[in-house]
Amino acid sequence: MEKIVILTGAGISAESGLGTFRDAGGLWEQHRIEDVATPEGFARDPALVQRFYNARRAAAAEARPNAAHEALGRLQRDYPGEVVLVTQNVDALHEAGGARDVLHMHGELASALCAACGHRWPAPMEMQVKEPCPACDRPAGRPDIVWFGEVPYHMDEIMAHLKDCTLFAAIGTSGEVYPAAGFVQIADIAGAHSVELNLEASSVHSNFAEARLGRATEVVPLWVAELLSGH
Is 53 labelled a binding residue?
Answer: yes
* Cis preceding-peptide flag for 139 (omega within 30 of 0): no
Is 228 labelled a binding residue?
Answer: no
> Which of 35, 45, 82, 176 lies at the binding interface for ligand OAD (CB under 6 A)?
176
- DSSP code of residue 204: T
> Which of 85, 86, 109, 146 lies at the binding interface for ligand OAD (CB under 6 A)?
146
Is 106 among the catalytic positions? Answer: yes
Nearer to ligand OAD, 21 or 168 (CB): 21
The site that binds ligand OAD (CB under 6 A) totals a number of residues, namely 25
Residue 9 in contact with ligand OAD, rule: CB under 6 A: yes
Nearer to ligand OAD, 194 or 202 (CB): 202
Is 165 labelled a binding residue?
Answer: no
Q: Of 167, 230, 170, 183, which Cα lies nearest the Cα of 2?
A: 167
| Segment contacting ligand OAD by CB under 6 A, of 74-82, 130-138, 167-175, 204-212 | 167-175
Is 77 labelled a binding residue?
Answer: no
Identified catalytic residue from 94, 104, 106, 161? 106
Tell me what percent of the chain is helix, strand and coil, each rounded to the nearest 5: 40, 20, 40
Is 173 labelled a binding residue?
Answer: yes
Give the integer Cα–Cα distance in Å for 95 and 76: 11
Give the integer Cα–Cα distance in Å for 15 and 44: 34
> Which of 106, 108, 142, 192 lies at the binding interface for ligand OAD (CB under 6 A)?
106
How far is residue 155 from each of residues 5, 94, 160, 183, measured CA to CA in Å?
Answer: 13, 19, 9, 11
Give the integer Cα–Cα distance in Å for 109 and 43: 19
Give the integer Cα–Cα distance in Å for 196 and 175: 10
Site for ligand OAD in 182-201 (CB under 6 A): 198-200
Nearer to ligand OAD, 135 or 213 (CB): 213
Contact in structure between 26 and 20 (CB atoms under 8 Å): yes
Residues lying near ligand OAD in the complex (CB under 6 A) are found at 9-11, 14-15, 20-23, 26, 37, 88, 106, 146, 172-174, 176-177, 198-200, 202, 215-216
The residues that are catalytic are 106
